[in-house]
């Protein structure tokens, strides 16, 4: 194990890219010059399915100029949530701002770059089932109100070792804990991940060992939501690829190991208007939050059960959302209260641009484009409807009795994917955010997933009941 990791460290740090940073809005000539200079062999034109799984059409680098001019066609009939057989022809329009060379490919025989593409129908209209387009529509709604939505997610994940046959071992890679150094076997691995993130244009803020054995976190810089969604799918790719080349497996599964903390994707959020943080109010001495911020949070609190199927999209997600493991299950907000759904980080004097709220229930198995779209939409719904927020809760809600929860009007998140889908299905807001096609396809795909789980016979059931009855 350790010899493999040592060799791979040498590979990763020897292949640091020397190419100059692209401009903020690169044109065709700039991209092609860089491709030639860096001797790029292939380019992946990427997009995601409804689950957030990365797909790509790979082209030889010499074809990139033609693709930039005329796009690249593909068959969408086999992609989850995309068109029927009779509507299969689609094309990808490259977004040149997302060009990046994949640093690990420099150690392979073919240097490979990627560009994220938007999905279009043959008539030139955006495909409404493209998750990136769903987020763009939500961003357009914010633009109408004069707001820019900035977020900063915290991505947690586990590392698992493989045995000599390449099969995953059932135990985490190390026995480290929160911020540990002496028992942390993955410090160098996280650094290699961060280095690769830097090479593809992600600005890493911090990296550390998380609470559970084998669990880690890497945070990237707060930025506007569409760019962050692109960064999120890139970050997951970088982490998984880096781990794989070191003989490990990285998973964003929310609860891979029973009895220890699961992995979340806490999201720090704020709205900006005319370049200023619309969430900040110096007159509010307790939380420094504006009425806009309170309305935004009220929208998310009121509609969170409707969006659980999007921000917590798997059967496994609800094995993380249980009391006792720092995962929020109660619909409340507060400041230093990590048992609440929304937390207000401590305000630092003079840091008005940093005023924000942290939504703590999303997990990293979600499709970032869809998750961030519904988070933005529910917050905007609170602003447009001038929702009144509930009183803050600063006590540990895990210690409340059922009577105290009822007395204070504190609700709970849904308890399963099936329950989440029932809430999603009834939500006119979710239907509006997704669009009719995407709403229908997402509901069908997730309902099939829930039915497959519900009808399966688990090892626990066999162990529990086979001899008893």
Please indicate whether residue 338 is annotated as part of the active site: yes
Which residues does 293 contact at the CB level (< 8 Å), separation at least 6? 270, 271, 278, 279, 280, 281, 355, 357
217-237: string of b/e by CB count within 10 Å (b at 16+)? bbbbebeebbebbbbbbbbbb
Residue from 210, 230, 306, 381 carrying the catalytic annotation: 210
Q: Which of 256, 300, 108, 235 is nearest to 168 (CA)?
A: 256
Residue from 208, 338, 432, 440 carrying the catalytic annotation: 338
Sign of CA dihedral 82, 52, 224, 394: positive
Residue from 8, 154, 174, 199 carrying the catalytic annotation: 154
Please indicate whether residue 423 is annotated as part of the active site: no
Please indicate whether residue 360 is annotated as part of the active site: yes
Written as one string, the DSSP assignment of 59-126 is: EEGGGHHHHHHH-EEEE-TTSTTS--GGG-EEEEEE-GGG-EE-GGGGGSSS-EEEEEEEEE-TTSPB
Q: What whole-number distance in Å separates Cα of residue 221 and Cα of residue 32?
A: 28
Residue from 184, 217, 306, 423 carrying the catalytic annotation: 217
Residue from 156, 180, 184, 199 carrying the catalytic annotation: 156
Please indicate whether residue 210 is annotated as part of the active site: yes
Cα–Cα distances (Å) from 349 to 112, 156, 205, 354, 355, in that order, read: 45, 29, 21, 10, 10
Count of Cβ atoms closer than 10 Å to residue 453 Cβ: 15
Judged on CB neighbours under 10 Å (0-12, 13-18, 19+), 86 is: exposed
Please indicate whether residue 75 is annotated as part of the active site: yes
Q: Which of 148, 405, 153 is nearest to 267 (CA)?
A: 153
Please indicate whether residue 358 is annotated as part of the active site: yes
Residue from 132, 236, 266, 268 carrying the catalytic annotation: 266
Tokens found for residue 325? 């493991």
Residue from 8, 199, 306, 358 carrying the catalytic annotation: 358
Could you give the 3-state DSSP secondary structure of residue 308? helix
Which residues does 76 contact at the CB level (< 8 Å), separation at least 6? 82, 83, 87, 88, 89, 90, 119, 127
Residue from 190, 288, 302, 360 carrying the catalytic annotation: 360
Residue from 75, 406, 436, 451 carrying the catalytic annotation: 75
For 102, list phi and psi in degrees, rounded to 5: -80, 110
Could you give the 3-state DSSP secondary structure of residue 215? strand
Please indicate whether residue 217 is annotated as part of the active site: yes
Catalytic residues: 75, 154, 156, 210, 217, 266, 338, 358, 360
């Amino acid at each position: 194990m350790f010899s493999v990791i040592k060799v791979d460290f040498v590979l990763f740090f020897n292949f640091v890219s020397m190419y100059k940073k692209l401009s903020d809005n690169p044109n065709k000539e700039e991209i092609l010059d860089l491709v030639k200079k860096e001797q790029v062999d292939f380019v992946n034109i990427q997009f995601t399915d409804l689950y957030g799984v990365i797909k790509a059409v790979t082209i030889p680098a010499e074809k990139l100029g033609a693709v930039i001019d005329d796009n690249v066609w593909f068959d969408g009939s086999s992609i989850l949530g995309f068109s029927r057989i009779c509507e299969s022809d689609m094309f990808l329009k490259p977004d040149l701002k997302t060009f990046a060379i994949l640093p690990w490919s420099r150690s392979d025989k073919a240097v490979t770059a990627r560009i994220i593409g938007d999905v279009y129908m043959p008539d030139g209209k955006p495909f409404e089932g493209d998750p990136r387009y769903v987020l763009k529509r939500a961003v357009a709604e914010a633009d109408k109100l004069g707001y820019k939505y900035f977020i900063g997610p915290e991505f947690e994940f586990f590392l698992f070792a493989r045995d000599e046959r390449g099969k995953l071992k059932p135990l985490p890679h190390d026995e480290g804990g929160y911020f540990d150094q002496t028992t942390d076997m993955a410090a160098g691995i996280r650094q290699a991940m961060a280095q690769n993130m830097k090479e593809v244009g992600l600005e890493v803020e911090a990296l550390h060992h998380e609470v559970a054995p084998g669990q880690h976190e890497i945070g990237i810089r707060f930025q506007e939501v569409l760019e962050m969604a692109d960064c999120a799918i890139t970050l997951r790719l970088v982490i998984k690829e880096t781990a794989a080349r070191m003989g490990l497996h990285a998973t964003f599964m929310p609860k891979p190991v029973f009895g220890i903390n699961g992995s979340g994707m806490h999201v720090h959020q704020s709205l900006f208007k005319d370049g200023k943080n619309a969430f900040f109010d110096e007159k509010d001495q307790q939380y420094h939050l504006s009425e806009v911020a309170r309305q935004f949070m009220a929208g998310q609190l009121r509609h969170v059960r409707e969006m659980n199927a999007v921000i917590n999209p798997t059967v496994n997600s609800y094995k993380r959302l249980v009391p006792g493991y720092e995962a929020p299950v109660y619909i409340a907000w507060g400041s230093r209260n990590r048992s609440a759904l929304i937390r207000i980080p401590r305000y630092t004097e003079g840091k008005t641009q940093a005023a924000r709220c942290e939504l703590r229930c999303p997990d990293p198995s979600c499709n970032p484009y869809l998750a961030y779209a519904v988070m933005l939409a529910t917050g905007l719904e609170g602003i447009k409807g001038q929702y009144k927020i509930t009183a803050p809760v600063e006590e540990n809600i895990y210690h409340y009795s059922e009577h105290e929860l009822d007395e204070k009007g504190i609700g709970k998140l849904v308890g399963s994917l099936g329950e989440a889908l029932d809430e999603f299905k009834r939500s006119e807001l979710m239907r509006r955010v997704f669009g009719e096609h995407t709403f229908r396809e997402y509901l069908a795909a997730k309902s099939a997933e829930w039915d497959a789980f519900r009808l399966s016979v688990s090892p626990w059931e066999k162990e529990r009941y086979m001899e008893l009855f």
